[in-house]
Amino acid sequence: MTETTPGTPPATTSTPDASGTLDEALERLHSSGPERDGWLSNHAPMAVEALVRNGQAATVHRWLDHYRAKLEDMPDRFAEVTPANWREALGDPRRIADWAVYFERETADRPWREVLAEWWPRLLPGIAGGATHPAIRLGHSVRTLLTTEETGPRVKEVAHALGYWAARHQPLPPLAPLAPARTAADALDAVPRVPDQSGGI
């Protein structure tokens, strides 16, 4: 039986990567935006982390070469996010690049754990934004930092994941009870439609 010290990450079965492949892949990806075609999430940062973790580092760059056609450049900056105006920028997808820069600055000035501890409670109510992909991406990046060496590209990945979540932050409306229905189809018909059916969530 393996004993662990309280507060330390549990042992994992991942394969250590001494090749630097993950950092190289993240550096390639950080010039790309977190979405394509207006709202589809860029899965590459999560995929390369999973490949490296599962002993497939040698395949990462070939996989990225194949996925490259699905990547788009990071959008242009819109307006700077600051400690004074972040609330008005929350949930504004036009500010994706602004949020990325904001969190790059925050994680350069303070430990990433401190930034995360401050921001995840603020972002959690909007977890549905981006179909939860920003939170999933953040989970991959945090797992990496908790279980491997802390490097610049890995901390920057936390910043970009937080920035994506902040830009796509979308709180769900309050739940409203529905009247009993005779059939599943009747119950579905009673669910109010989302007014704006364009784009993603």
Q: Is residue 189 part of a domain?
A: no
Q: Is residue 57 part of a domain?
A: yes
Check residues 192 and 27 and name the one with the higher pLDDT: 27
d(CA 117, CA 122): 10
Do the Cβ atoms of 22 and 57 come closer than 8 Å? yes
Average of pLDDT values for 143-172? 96
Check residues 199 and 184 and name the one with the higher pLDDT: 184
d(CA 113, CA 9): 14
Is it the case that residue 191 has pLDDT exceeding 60? yes
Give the per-residue pLDDT at 176: 82
Helix (H) or strand (E) holding 11: none
Sign for the CA dihedral angle at 118, 120, 124, 130 comes to: positive
112 residue type, one letter: W
Check residues 192 and 113 and name the one with the higher pLDDT: 113
Give the per-residue pLDDT at 9: 46
Q: Is residue 199 part of a domain?
A: no
Is it the case that residue 80 has pLDDT exceeding 90? yes
Domain that residue 68 falls in? 23-167
Choose the weakest-confidence range: 1-5, 46-50, 84-88, 196-200. 1-5
In total, how many domains does the chain have?
Answer: 1
Is it the case that residue 119 has pLDDT exceeding 60? yes
* Mean pLDDT estimate for the chain: 89
Q: How far is CA 14 from the centre of its chain?
A: 21
Is it the case that residue 91 has pLDDT exceeding 80? yes
Q: Is residue 73 part of a domain?
A: yes
